[in-house]
């Protein structure tokens, strides 16, 4: 059994002081930590669907950095701050664009708030690389 550990960085200045990585791979398993909708310039869109797409862009980039692809994803989690049907539909649509045929196990949790009040969604995923 391969227990080699590798990491993908988020680029956050807090990685060292808090002790986290954007993603970690041990053997075939990749875990991508909570991913927020922050653009490279620090901007956060006000649109829930755009936020979800940005989260997936970042998370799937980390997955790829560690040798994974969307079809390796076995579980996704969404933490959302608003259960409004339009918000849920926008976030769910972004998930469906990527995982419509893959269909990983998925959970949506409504939370009182996230670390930054601009964020409407934060996502995480788990993948198993079998090839």
Is a pLDDT exceeding 90 seen at residue 13?
no
pLDDT in tens, 58-107: 999 999 999 999 999 999 999 999 999 999 999 999 999 999 999 999 99
Is a pLDDT exceeding 80 seen at residue 1?
no
- Which residues, including other chains, have CB under 8 Å from residue 49's CB and lie 6 or more apart? 90, 91, 93, 94
Element (H, E) at 121: strand 121-128
Q: What does CATH list as the number for 5-128?
A: 3.30.1330.40
- Which residues, including other chains, have CB under 8 Å from residue 4's CB and lie 6 or more apart? 25, 26, 27
| pTM score of the predicted model | 0.95
Phi and psi for 123 in degrees, rounded to 5? -130, 160
């Amino acid at each position: 059994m391969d227990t080699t550990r590798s990491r993908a960085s988020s680029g956050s200045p807090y990685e060292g002081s808090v002790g986290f990585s954007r993603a970690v791979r041990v053997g075939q398993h990749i875990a991508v930590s909570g991913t927020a909708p922050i653009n490279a310039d620090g901007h956060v869109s006000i649109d829930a669907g755009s936020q979800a797409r940005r989260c997936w862009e970042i998370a799937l980039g980390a997955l790829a950095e560690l040798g994974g692809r969307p079809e390796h994803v076995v579980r996704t989690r969404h933490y959302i701050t608003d259960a409004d049907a339009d918000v849920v539909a926008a976030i769910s649509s972004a998930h469906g664009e990527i995982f419509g045929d893959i269909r990983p196990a998925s959970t949506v949790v409504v939370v009182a708030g996230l670390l930054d009040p601009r964020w409407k969604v934060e996502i995480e995923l788990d993948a198993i690389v079998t090839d």
